[in-house]
Structure 1
C-alpha cells in the first residue's frame, strides 16, 4: 500500500500505466471517496522542470464536465514523488468500451452521439483556454455513468498538453502512433530527421482517428500485419491518403493500398448520420495542412449534427427504417427532401401514416410539427411510386468469424473467442433488425389496408346516397303524376324525357356496378388483412433472437475464462484439457448461432417476397378504388342534374290537364310515323318505366346498405 497525506491505494489497483507515470484507484482517508491518483516515476523527473509542472498548470486552468477534474497535488512519503489526485471514472476508458465484444463493430448510434457531444464540448473548452492536448485517443477518454444512467465521457491524461494559440507552433513530439498526424508520425515513429513545426490541428487528426475507431470498432489506417508491425506501409497509407478518403488498408502482403470514402457496412450508425459524419472525417483526416479544417469549422459542423433531431421513417416501398436528422426550425419541405435523399421517393409521391392515421404535412410549416417518433414507432412512408422492396442490406457475420488454431495458444484463443463473440453480437443485432423490419412492414401494410377499407366505406356511402336520392325522387315523381297522364303530350318533351330516363338508368347501372366492385374489393382487402395478421402472429412467435442470445450467454462464460487464462504463463495438464473442451464447445455454440441466424435470414427474404406481392396488390387496389371513386362521384353529380331535368319535363307534360280546363287543346305538329294515340301510350309506358326504375333503385340501395354494414377485418 502507498499513500499521501490524504489518500491511500494498493499497487494492485492499477488503472493504467505510461512511460512516466502510473494511475491507481485510491481512497480518501477520511471520507472513503474513490479517486484516481497519478503517481510519477523516477524517469519523469529527468524531464525539464518546465515539462514536469506543465500538466499541473494545465489541469488547474480547466474546469469542465467533459474533462477529468484535478482535486489536489500531493506527494508520497519518503520518495516525495508527485501525485495528481483526480476524478475517478468507474466505467473505464472509451478504449475499454470498444474492447467489449458487443462493440466490435463500433458503438450504437445513440452512444456515438453522446461521445461526439462530450468530445466536442471538452475540446471546445480546451481551445477556449488555448490548450492543445497532443494525445487524443480512446484510452485517454474516460467514461462514467451519470445519475440518470447516461454515459458521460471526459478527456484525461494531460501529460503531453501545453498552452498553444491557434497560430503558434511546436516541434516536440508526443502521442500514440496509430493516432498521430503523418508529419508527427514521420519523426516520432520513423525517426526521420526533420524540423517541421506543428500546430493545434494535430489534435483534429487524432480526433478523426478516434471518432472513426468509435464508429466502426477498427482503426481507419491498417497495413498488412498491423500498424505496429509494418510502420513503413502505415506511413505510406496516412501520407498518400487521397482527399476525401476516410480509411485505407493493405489486404495482403506487398498488396496495393485500398481506399474507402465511406464507413463500412458493419457500422451501426444510420445512413442519415453517416452522410453528415463522413465529410467531417474527410476534412480533419487531411494531410495537407492548407486543406485541413480548423477547429472553428470542426466545431460548427459537429454542432450542426448535435443540434438536429431524429425523425424515424419506415419506408414501405423499401421495407427499410431510416433515421432522418433534421433541425426543428427547418421546414417540412426540407424534411421531405431529406427523405427523398434516403429513399428516392420524390416529395410529391410521399404519403405518411403514424400509428394508423393519415398524416398531411404542410410543406411550409416547421419540422417540429412532425412530432416525436422512435425506432419502434416511426412514421410510415407509403408511396405508389417504388420498385421492389430491397430490404435491409448487411454483411453476413460468418465472414467475420475467425477460426481457432489447433494447438493451445492462450492469447490466440482469447483473441479468436473475442472475434467470434463480436460477430455473434453483430448477428444478434441483425436478427433483431430483420424481425423488427418484418413487424414494421406488416403493421404499416395493415394500416394502409385499413385506410383503403375506410375509402371503400366512404365510396359506398356516396353511391348509396346517390341511389337513394334517385329512387326516392323518382318514386315521388311517379306518385305525383299517377292518373294524370296527358291526352295530348308534346312530342319534343316526351323525347327528352325518354332520353333522360335512359341516362338515369345507365347512371344507376354504373353506380350499381361500382358498388359491386367496391364490395368485391372489400372482400379482397379483408382476406389480405387476415393474411397480414397471420404473418404478424408468426413474427411475434419467432424466437430466433432468444436462441442467439442464449448461445451468446454461454459463449461469454467461456470467453471470460479465456480472458482470465491468457494472463497466466501456462496451464496444467487437466486445465489444458478443459481449455480444449471449452474451445470445442465454443465452436459448437458459434455454429448453432450462425445456423439460427441463417434461418432468420431465410424467413426475412421470404417475407420480402410476400411484401412485394402485398405491395403490388395494395397499389392495384388503390388505383382501382380511385377510378371507382371518380366514377361514383361523377355519376352522382350527373344523376342529380338529370333527375332534376326529368322532373321538370314530367311536370310540364302533366300541366295540359289544367290548361285543357281553361282552353281548347292546341293542335299537335305532325310527327313522322307517330300518331297522337301512340304518344299517349308512350307517355304511359314512360311513367311505368320510371316507376319500375324507382323500385329497382330502392332494391339496389338496400343491397348497398347491407354491403356498407358488412364488418371489416379485425385489427392486428
Structure 2
C-alpha cells in the first residue's frame, strides 16, 4: 500500500504506466471516493524543473467537462514523490473501447458522434482567442429529430485547450478516457498533459513528444527516425493526431499501415505519410516491398452511414496534410466539425433500392435542400421523389423549413418512393469471414490470443451485419405493404367512382321513356338522340371494362398483400441473430481465458490440454457463426429477399402505372359521357318545351268538347319529359363531380404547387 496525506492506493491497482509515471486507482481516506493518482518515478526528476512542473500548471489552468479534473497535488510519505490526484474514469479509454472485439471495425455512428462532440466540438465561451463563428449558426429551438447536446458535452475539450493557448502534443485514443454519465451516456475526457505546453498562435517549438503512430510526419522524422533537421512545429501538429484518432475511431484501424506494421517498418511508415496524395485519407502496403495503395474514402467495413462519411472525409483529408500551407487551421477544423454536430439526421429508406440512408441537414434549411441531399445519396431526382411515413403519404413542400419533416429513426424512417423502376441494390458489405487468421496447431499463448481476438471481432461484425440485414428486410416488407395498402385504397375509390358513373348511365339508358320521346321528335332530333344513346352505351361498356380491370388489380394486390404478410411473419420468426449472439457469448468466454493465459509464462500439462480443447471449440463456434448462420442463413435469405423484393416492386410499379392509365381512361369516359348527357339534356329541353307549346295551341284552337282538362296521356308525357330533363342535368353534374374525384386519385399524389 502507498499513500499521501489524503489518499491511499495499492500498487496492484495499476491503471496505466509510462516512461515517467504510473497511474493507480486510489481512494480518499475520509470519503472513500475513487480517484486516479499519477505517481512520478525517479526518471521524471531527471527532467528540467520547468518540464516537471508543466503538467501541474497546465491542469490547474484548465477547467472543462471534457478534460480530466485535477483535484490536488500531494506527495508520498517516504520518498516524497509528487502525486497528481485526478478524476477517475471507470470505463477505460477510447483505446480500450476500440480494442474491444465489438469495435474491431470502428465505433457505431452514435458513439462516434459522442467522441467527435467531446473531443472537437466548437464552443461559444467568452474570451477565446481568434475564435471564428461556426459556418452555420446553430438553432436553439427544439427540433424534431435533432441531436441535442447534454451539458456534459456542450463544449469541446480540444477547443478549450485552444482558447487557453495550450498544445497537447500527445493526442491519441489512449489519452481520451471514458466514463458513463448518470443516464448511461458516454463522456470522453482528454488526459495526460505531460507533453503539453502553452503556446501562442504564431509561436513554434522544437522539442518532440508523442506516440509514433499518431505523430505528425515532421515530428516523426526527428523523434522516430532520428534524422537531424531544423524544423519547428506549431499548434497544428495536434490536428494530425486528431485526424489519425478520428480515423481510428471510425474504422477500428490506423490510417497508415506499412507491410509488417508501423513499429516494424518505420521508414515505410514515414514514406506513406509524406508521399500521401492530396485528398487521400489512408495508405497501406499489403506486400513486402510492394506498392502503396491509397484510399480516398472510409472502408466498406466502417459502420458509419454514408451520410456521415460524406461530411467526415473532407475534414480528415484536410487535417491529414503534411504541408502546413495546405493543412486546415484550428478555426476551420472546429467550424467544420461543429457544422456536422449541429445537423439534423433524417433517416430515409429508399424502397426501390432497398437501402437506408442518413441525411444530415440543418434544421433551418429548406425542404428543397433536403430533397437535393436525398438526391446526392440516392440519385433519385427531386421531381421523382415521393415519401411515405408510417403508412401515409408525406407531402414535402420545397419552400418550407426542414423542421416540418417528421421525426425519424433507423427503425421508423421516411420511405422514399421513386416513380422510376429500379433494381434493388441492398446493403453493400464485406464478408467478415474474409482474411481472418487461423490458429496454429501448436500452443502459442500470445498468437492464440491475437487470433481469437481477430476472429471474435469478425463475429461481432457479422452480428451487426445480421441485425442490419434483418432490419432491411423488415423495412422492405413494411414499405411494400404500405404501397399495396395505398394502391388498394386507390382501387376502391376509383372503382366506386366508376360504378357510380355506370349506375347513372344504366339508370338513364334503361328507362322506357326514351321510346316515348323518340316517337314525338323530328327525324333529325331522333337521329341525334339515337347517336348519343349509342355513344352512352359504348361508354357504359368501356366503364364496365375499367371496373373489371380494377377488380383484377384488387385481386392481384390482395394476393401480393398475403405474400407480404407471410414473409413478414417469417422475418419476425427468424432467430439467426439470437443464434449468432449465443455463439459469440460462448466464444467470448474462451477469448477472456486466452487473454488471461497470455500473461502467464506457460501452462501446465492439464491446462495446456484444456487450452487445446478451447481452440477446437472456438474454431467450431466460429465456423458455425460465420459460415452457417451468417453466410448460409442471413446472407442467403437477404439475397433471396432482394430478388423477391425486385419482383414485387416491378409488380407494384406496373399496377401503379396501370391504375394511372385506368384512372385517366375513366376520367376521359366521364368527360365524354358528360358531354353526351348535356346534349341529350338540351334535346329533352327542346322536346319538353315543344310539347308544352303544342298543348297550349291545341287548347286555344279546338277546346275539348267532352272535358275541360288535357288528356292524361299527354300530361304524363310532359311531366316525364321534364323529369327526364332534370335527371340528365343531375347526371351531367354527377359525372363532372366524378372527374374531380378521379383527378385526386393519382398515385403517388403530387406535391401542391409552391
Q: Distance in 1 between matches of 2:212 and 2:522?
A: 107
Whether contact under 8 Å (1:462, 1:633) holds in the other structure is no
Q: Distance in 1 between matches of 2:74 and 2:260?
A: 44
Whether contact under 8 Å (2:509, 2:537) holds in the other structure is no
Q: Distance in 1 between matches of 2:369 and 2:619?
A: 50
Whether contact under 8 Å (1:493, 1:653) holds in the other structure is no
Query: Could you tell me which residue of structure 2 aligns to residue 295 of structure 1?
Result: 330
CA drift of 1:156 comes to 0.2
Q: Distance in 1 between matches of 2:516 and 2:548?
A: 36
Q: Distance in 1 between matches of 2:112 and 2:691?
A: 92
User: Cα deviation per residue 1:100-150 (whole Å; 9 max; x = unaligned)?
Assistant: 000000000000000000001110100001000000000000000000110
Q: Distance in 1 between matches of 2:193 and 2:472?
A: 46
| 1:107 has 2:107 as partner | yes
Structure 1 residues 188-587: aligned runs within 5 Å: 188-474=223-509, 478-479=512-513, 483=516, 486-487=519-520, 489-587=521-619
Q: Distance in 2 between matches of 1:475 and 1:498?
A: 14
Q: Distance in 1 between matches of 2:683 and 2:507?
A: 17
Query: Could you tell me which residue of structure 1 aligns to residue 84 of structure 2?
Result: 84
| 1:638 has 2:696 as partner | no
Query: Could you tell me which residue of structure 2 aligns to residue 619 of structure 1?
Result: 653
CA drift of 1:650 comes to 2.9
User: Cα deviation per residue 1:168-200 (whole Å; 9 max; x = unaligned)?
Assistant: 100000000000000000000000011210000
CA drift of 1:637 comes to 2.7
TM-score calculated relative to the size of structure 1: 0.91
Relative to 1, partners in 2 of residues 1:509 and 1:486: Cα closer, same or farther, differing over 3 Å? Answer: closer
Structure 1 residues 110-149: aligned runs within 5 Å: 110-120=110-120, 121-149=156-184
Structure 1: 4+ residue segments shifted above 3 A: 471-476, 481-487, 653-665
Which of 620, 626, 630 is matched with 1:597 structurally? 630
Whether contact under 8 Å (1:400, 1:419) holds in the other structure is no
Whether contact under 8 Å (1:318, 1:388) holds in the other structure is yes
User: Cα deviation per residue 1:665-715 (whole Å; 9 max; x = unaligned)?
Assistant: 9xxxxxxxxxxxxxxxxx9xxx9xx99x99xx9xxx9xxxxxxxxxxxxxx
Secondary structure at the residue paired with 1:398?
Answer: coil
User: Cα deviation per residue 1:606-632 (whole Å; 9 max; x = unaligned)?
Assistant: 111100100000000000000111111
Relative to 1, partners in 2 of residues 1:194 and 1:483: Cα closer, same or farther, differing over 3 Å? Answer: closer
CA drift of 1:460 comes to 1.1
Secondary structure at the residue paired with 1:199?
Answer: coil
Q: Distance in 1 between matches of 2:22 and 2:688?
A: 114
CA drift of 1:564 comes to 0.3
Q: Distance in 2 between matches of 1:567 and 1:590?
A: 24
Q: Distance in 1 between matches of 2:571 and 2:288?
A: 46
Matched residue count: 670
Whether contact under 8 Å (1:118, 1:152) holds in the other structure is yes
- Can you give the 5+ residue segments of structure 2 that lack an aligned partner in the other structure? 121-155, 700-716, 736-754
Query: Could you tell me which residue of structure 2 aligns to residue 32 of structure 1?
Result: 32
Q: Distance in 2 between matches of 1:518 and 1:218?
A: 57
Whether contact under 8 Å (1:134, 1:161) holds in the other structure is yes
Secondary structure at the residue paired with 1:461?
Answer: helix
Query: Could you tell me which residue of structure 2 aligns to residue 676 of structure 1?
Result: none
Relative to 1, partners in 2 of residues 1:657 and 1:172: Cα closer, same or farther, differing over 3 Å? Answer: closer
Query: Could you tell me which residue of structure 2 aligns to residue 588 of structure 1?
Result: 620
Whether contact under 8 Å (2:509, 2:533) holds in the other structure is no
User: Cα deviation per residue 1:299-334 (whole Å; 9 max; x = unaligned)?
Assistant: 000000000111111111110111111111111111
CA drift of 1:664 comes to 8.4
| 1:12 has 2:12 as partner | yes
Whether contact under 8 Å (1:350, 1:383) holds in the other structure is yes
More deviation in 418-427 or 626-635?
626-635
Q: Distance in 2 between matches of 1:386 and 1:195?
A: 63
Q: Distance in 2 between matches of 1:475 and 1:178?
A: 91
Whether contact under 8 Å (1:314, 1:380) holds in the other structure is yes
Q: Distance in 1 between matches of 2:435 and 2:532?
A: 77
Q: Distance in 2 between matches of 1:459 and 1:387?
A: 27
Structure 1 residues 611-690: aligned runs within 5 Å: 611-663=645-697
Whether contact under 8 Å (1:400, 1:423) holds in the other structure is no
Secondary structure at the residue paired with 2:218?
Answer: helix
Relative to 1, partners in 2 of residues 1:30 and 1:524: Cα closer, same or farther, differing over 3 Å? Answer: same
User: Cα deviation per residue 1:445-487 (whole Å; 9 max; x = unaligned)?
Assistant: 00000000010011112112222333445567x54x6756655
Secondary structure at the residue paired with 2:12?
Answer: strand
Secondary structure at the residue paired with 2:434?
Answer: helix
Whether contact under 8 Å (2:421, 2:653) holds in the other structure is no
TM-score calculated relative to the size of structure 2: 0.87
CA drift of 1:657 comes to 4.0
Query: Could you tell me which residue of structure 2 aligns to residue 711 of structure 1?
Result: none
User: Cα deviation per residue 1:157-176 (whole Å; 9 max; x = unaligned)?
Assistant: 00000001111100000000
User: Cα deviation per residue 1:535-567 (whole Å; 9 max; x = unaligned)?
Assistant: 111111111111111110100000000000000
Secondary structure at the residue paired with 1:30?
Answer: coil
CA drift of 1:496 comes to 1.5
Query: Could you tell me which residue of structure 1 aligns to residue 48 of structure 2?
Result: 48
Whether contact under 8 Å (2:518, 2:526) holds in the other structure is no
Whether contact under 8 Å (1:181, 1:205) holds in the other structure is yes
Query: Could you tell me which residue of structure 2 aligns to residue 679 of structure 1?
Result: none
Secondary structure at the residue paired with 1:314?
Answer: strand
Secondary structure at the residue paired with 2:433?
Answer: helix
Query: Could you tell me which residue of structure 1 aligns to residue 63 of structure 2?
Result: 63
Secondary structure at the residue paired with 2:293?
Answer: strand
Q: Distance in 2 between matches of 1:447 and 1:33?
A: 56
Relative to 1, partners in 2 of residues 1:475 and 1:377: Cα closer, same or farther, differing over 3 Å? Answer: same
Secondary structure at the residue paired with 1:646?
Answer: helix
